[in-house]
Every structure is written in C-alpha cells, then in structure tokens.
Amino acid sequence: MYLSAMDIQGFKTFAQKTTLVFPGTKAGSNAVTVVVGPNGSGKSNIADAIRWCLGEQSMKLLRGKAAQDVIFSGSDGRGRSGFAEVSLTFDNADRTLDVSFAEVVVTRRLYRDGESEYLLNGQAVRLSDIQLLLAEAGVGQRSYSVIGQGMIDHVLSATPEERKAFFDDATGVRGLQMKRHHALLTLQKSAENLADVEMVLHELEPRLSLLRRQVKRLNDREAVASELNVLAAAYYGTMWWNGIDERLAIETRQKSALAIVVAKRTELAARDAELVAFEKAQIPSSSADTDSMQSLQLEYKKAQQSLADARRAHFTFERELELAKVKSQSTWAPLPLPDIIAEVKDVAVVHESLLIRLKAVTSLADLAPIIIDLDGISVRSKKLRDRLTRPNPEDFVQSAESIAAIANALTVVKSAEDLVKRSEEMMDAKAKASVAATSEVFAVQKDVRRLQQELSGLEAQANTVAIDYARVETRIEGLKKEIEDAVSERAELIMNVAPADRIVDIGPTHDRILRLRHQLELIGGIDASVMKEFAEADERSTFLTTQVSDLRSAIASTEKVIDELDEQIRAQSDVALKKIATEFQKYFAILFGGGRCSLVKLTKEELEAAAPSDSPINGGEASEFVHHANVDTLESIAKRVQERKDSVVGIDIQATPPGKRLKALNLLSGGERALTSIALVSAIMATNPAPFVVLDEVDAALDEANTVRFANIINELRTLTQFIVITHNRATMEKADVLYGVTMGDDGVSKLLSVKLEDYVGDETARR
C-alpha cells in the first residue's frame, strides 16, 4: 500500500482544488517525492492537510486556534472558501487496508458553520472507524508516518507517557491500543452502569420486600377467607336448618298441645253444663242452701280464673326471660382487635405499676391502696374476659326487675292455687253437709274439678311449648341477621337450600370460625392493587437482576479481552522495541560518527517518582492485571477499572554523542537533538516501516555534511517505505523522483509546479 494522490480544496492557502500525484515505485524502490518552495509559500500546509485528513483534532499541531482556521480565509484578490476538503487516495492492491477495495479514498470535509464529515470511498463513516482502519495499517495522524514542521524534536521533548504513544505506532500496536482503549471505555461504562443498576436494585429491594410480604399476607388472607367461607357456609347452613327442623317439631308439639287443651275445655264445658242441669233438677232443702252452694261455685270459678290469669302472667314473664337469653347470645359480637390490644396494654401497664409499688412496700399500711387498685384491675380483667367470651343462654344474668316480676307472678300463682284449694274444700264440706245433695251431683262436681285441674296442667304444658317456640323463633331471627352480616352474598342460598351434610358437632367448627376471623383481623385489609404493583416491581427487579448478570458477564469478557490485548501488546512491543533499539544505535552511530544511545522502559512507579529506570528495553511490562473471577463486588470491579485506566508505561531515551558523557536529552545542543531524533525516526522506519512517511523540514537544523548523511539514509530506507519530503536542502532534493514546487502569488493562494527528475538526469543538472 502507498499514497498515490492527494486532493486539496479550500484548505488553508490551497483555495482552489489542487491535486498531487505520488508515484509508487521507481527502479524497484519506493519513489521519493520532494516538495520545495520559499518560506511562506504554503508547502508545509501539504503536511498539515495530510495530518488533518487522517483525523487530527488538535488545532495547535495544525498551527491554528479554531477549527475554521483550516478553511481558506480569503485575501485581497480572492474571497474566502465555504469549506475545506482533503482527500487521500491509497493504492490498496496488496489489501494492507482491511477493505475489499483496490483503491481507498479517505476524505475529510469541514464547513464554515462547524459541520464536518468523514468519507470512505464516498460513504459517510465515523472518525474512529477511519483511525482504526489506518492504525492497523501503521498509519496515524500523530504517528511517525507524518512528522510535521518542528515535530522532529517533539519525540525528544515529549513526556515519557506521550512518547509511549509514539512508540505504540512504531511497534505496530496502535491498532491493538485503540482496541484496548475502546475495551477499557466499555469496561468503565459497564462498571458505571453496573453501579447504577445495583443502586436502583438496592433502592427497589425494600419496597419489593414490603410488597412481597403484603402479597404473601394477601395470599394467606385468600386462603383463610376461602376456608372461612366454606366453614361458615357449613356452620350457618347446619345452624339454620337445625333451627328450622326444631321449629317444625315444636310447632307440631304446640298444635298437639293446643288440640288437647281445646278438647279438654270442650269436655269441661259439657260436664259443667251437666252439673248445672243436675242442680236445677234437684229440689233443694231450702233456698238458703241452694244460694250458698251457688255462691261457693261462683267463688270457685273466680278462683280458677285468677289462677289462669296468674299462670298466664307468669308465662309471659318466663317467655320474656327466655327471649332475653336468646337475644343476648344472638346479638353478641367479638370485641374488635384494636380495642382488645388497647385494653390489654392498659391492664399490663397498670399491673406492672402495681408490681413495682408492691416491691417497694415497707409496711402494711402501704398495702391498702395497692389492694384497692388490684381489685380494680381484677374487675377490668374479668370484664374483658366476659366481653371476649360468647355467652350461653344458661349463663344469662337476670335483671333485678325481671327477678322481682317473676317472683311476684309466682306469689300470685301460689295465692290463686290456695284460693282454688280453699274453694274446693268449702264446696266439698257444703256438699256433705247439705241433705239435698245427692251422690250423683257430688260426683259430677268432683269430675268438673278434676277436668279443671287437668286443663290447668295442659295449659301449663302448652305455655311451656309456646315458650320453646318463641325461643326457637327468636334464635332463628337472630341467626338470620347473623348470616346476612357474615355471608351476605350467600345468605339467601344458605337459607333456601338445605345442605347435603350437616355438621354433627358444631362447637369446634364455631371455634375455628372465630379463630379464622381473628386471623383476618390480624392480617388486616390489603388493597387489591398490591398484586399489580408487586407484579410490576418484581418484573422490574427480574429485569434489573438480568441486567446485572449481563453486565457482570460483559465486564468479565471485556477484562479477558483486555488481558489478551495486553499480552499481545506486551509481546509485540518487546520484540519491536528491541529491534528499534538496535537500529537506533546503528543510525545514531552513522549520524554522529559513533556514540551510544538506548531506549529505557519506565514503570508506573518510576514515572510517579520521576526517576528513570535502568532496566533494559526487553524487560517486562510495569504492571500486569490479574482478573479475579471470584471477586465481583462493585468495589473490586471499580478498583480493577481504575488500575487498568491508570496503568501507563513510558519510554525514556538516553543518548551520548562521541567524546561526551551526557545522557540527559536536555543537555544536547539543537543540532545534536535533531540528529538524535532523525536517528530514532530512521530506526523506527527501518524496524516497522509505515506505508508512507511525510517529513516536513526535519533536516532544517542540519549542517551540510549531516544533510548528506540524512539524504543517504532516506535513499537507503526508500526500499522500505514511500517518502514525501518537504525541504530546502539540495542533497535531499537530489534523491527525489518527483519534485513539487510551491509558489504563492499576490492573491495569497498556493500553486504547484511539478518536475519528474528522471526526465533531466541525462543533462546532469538535477542529480549528481
């Protein structure tokens, strides 16, 4: 590969389009193109144009301040250009450039508004793509392939770190270094992304844990609620239909009892009528006896009516008592959990206070107030226990009014019974004493009294059945309300459809229902949107976790690539630097007529201490990176990234001209520095020749004898590379195959004149 042509338009003093054609080979060697011209004619702008097209971004190296300074700014006789464009055409027949083109054209264009573009064979590309493509071929804007005006001494005055970049090109590892740089940037960015993602994960984890607990509670709540619904349906179904069956049985008993009472009343009425008929048919002994017996019978009937009324009143009070018992059970509800917790806390606080006071007692007098407080806390505890325990009907406590009413009713019943008994005794005595009474009437009277007694007993039994019926009816009404409150959505189904299987022992089932309700209270209410929020948070957490895994894998892979590149760079640079050091000594001796020189590799620690190392150039690298696969914390990754980023190795140059003991470069004269730089550049070109080399007045500081030596070196190295030399020296011009002359008119525009020196060799005017 070689540079075959260059097109310049609008770049610095080349306002109009100008084309330079560079020949490839001449007589088996690479052609040498020399550019000459007076000072200020713009010949150095050719070297700047090449460097700029290769991607140079430093305006200082291009001898400008702003990017637009490279665009022709105009003159008295010509307007300014709107853009600058430079195209380099490479002959790529040997495919040195890794593209499938025999001719490669690299173009850089800059407009005055600041917009710029890079083109590769007319196609827009990135600067990094061009730099990597050329670097792999040994060409770069800051490599030894383009040495601008005044830059021949830069390699000596540069810092060891800057000089290492120059030697990266010289050893042919620039492409690897660029890959390593990109890999390092990727590693750094991946580490930063990893830190960001793990920070987001760290912030998300508490919320996700809370949501996970809430979802678990919600799932638990659903399980508890599901079990509660099943048990409640079975429990209330059994209770309801057991109550319905019991009510039907009591209704049957009640109807039977009422039928018996009605039959007994009918029989009593018939016997009573028969008694009246007998009494009318009998001839009383005297009207006085008759009136007396009738009076006793009337009193007896009144006593019977009073007894019936008293029993009815007692039945009413008993019925109300039974209904109150049932209502007290059906209307009971468990105390809310917050109230229970608050009350237990208060009791515990008071109990602890009393315990402290009790321990501090020193006399019996101090116990009196403590005992009073203990009684109070005992009452509160019992009250809390009673409120937490479902009452049984038999545990019902009657009110004082109810007790008094029932006692009074019993007293009235007892009085009525006594009155009836006395009336019966008086009637019996009167009947025995009366001569008019017959045995038949007496028998009917006794039968009537028997029927009345039986009727009273039957009415009492009917009243008991009525109480049972009222009790069941009230319990069913309370159960209905409880079912509607507990399972409102299924209450109608439960009360209309009998269950296939009923619970035999409902006690444990009821206790289980209470425990499940208590669990639901402990779980509390949870918004249904928690599931959606948890799903979103969990999905994000899973995504971020995957990203963390991918980033860690990418970091490990990138570190492995960097390690492989470091090993390849180290091996290649060591071999190349040894050859450069050998060639450097060779050309140094040629230019100086003797002397010694060497290249010294500096480690990172030595650079920090500003103390050059005496280790030879074939020594190992200053630092090596060891990837610890098992250490993947953010701190270790960040540390490894920083170590890789900060690990810079420099190159120091030592030169001792013949007859001197100098080693430090700053002690050399200007001419000695120029000769040393030329020797180094020559050594590099001899070791790792670039496809082409541009030298801009590198021989300006040389005397005539050294100019001849320099020209001879170029003539020797032309077998390895193509030279484009900008010079004022005749000895250098004599080695040229093509000579370009640069002139500038009054319009401030550079123009070219070209001469093929092979056309004038015969006249012995161009070469000697």
Under 8 Å CB-to-CB from 683, ≥6 apart: which residues? 580, 581, 582, 583, 584, 586, 587, 588
- In this structure, is residue 495 part of a structural domain? no
Instruction: Report the range of poorest mean pLDDT among 82-86, 247-251, 658-662.
Output: 658-662
Tens of pLDDT, residues 316-363: 767 676 666 666 655 555 566 667 777 788 888 888 888 888 888 877
- Residues present in the chain in total: 768
User: Is residue 551 over pLDDT 80?
Assistant: yes
* Residue 597 · residue 588 · CB < 8 Å: yes
Whole-number Å distance between alpha carbons of 640 and 194: 14
Nearest to 623 by CA among 657, 646, 599: 646
- Ramachandran assignment for 595, one of left (phi > 0), alpha (psi -120 to 50 degrees), beta (any other): left
DSSP letter, residue 391 = P
SS3 477: helix
User: What is the reported pTM?
Assistant: 0.51
> ∠551-552-558 over CA atoms, to 5°?
85
Q: Domain range spanning residue 598? A: 2-172+571-763
Residue 620 pLDDT grade (very low, low, confident, very high; cuts 50, 70, 90) = very low
- In this structure, is residue 279 part of a structural domain? no
Work out how many domains the chain is built from and give that number: 1
Under 8 Å CB-to-CB from 24, ≥6 apart: which residues? 2, 4, 30, 31, 91, 722
- In this structure, is residue 464 part of a structural domain? no
Question: CA 343 → CA 380, 390, 500, distances in Å?
Answer: 9, 18, 43
Nearest to 302 by CA among 427, 420, 429: 420
The dihedral sign for the CA sequence 110, 116, 118, 119: negative
18: domain CATH number is 3.40.50.300
Nearest to 170 by CA among 681, 732, 640: 681
Whole-number Å distance between alpha carbons of 689 and 144: 9
Tens of pLDDT, residues 566-602: 888 888 888 888 898 999 899 899 888 888 888 888 7
User: Is residue 14 over pLDDT 90?
Assistant: yes
* Residue 145 · residue 692 · CB < 8 Å: yes
- In this structure, is residue 463 part of a structural domain? no
Tens of pLDDT, residues 178-223: 788 888 888 888 888 888 888 888 888 888 888 887 777 777 777 8
- In this structure, is residue 103 part of a structural domain? yes
- In this structure, is residue 560 part of a structural domain? no
The number of CA neighbours under 13 Å toward the Cβ of 582 is 10
Whole-number Å distance between alpha carbons of 508 and 522: 21
- Ramachandran assignment for 10, one of left (phi > 0), alpha (psi -120 to 50 degrees), beta (any other): left
The number of CA neighbours under 13 Å toward the Cβ of 590 is 20
Helices and strands in the chain, H and E counts: 18, 16
pLDDT, residue 632, reads 62
Whole-number Å distance between alpha carbons of 442 and 297: 12
- In this structure, is residue 335 part of a structural domain? no
More confident residue, 285 or 738: 738
| Mean predicted confidence (pLDDT) in 31-45 | 91
Q: How many CB atoms lie within 10 A of CB 643?
A: 12
- In this structure, is residue 604 part of a structural domain? yes
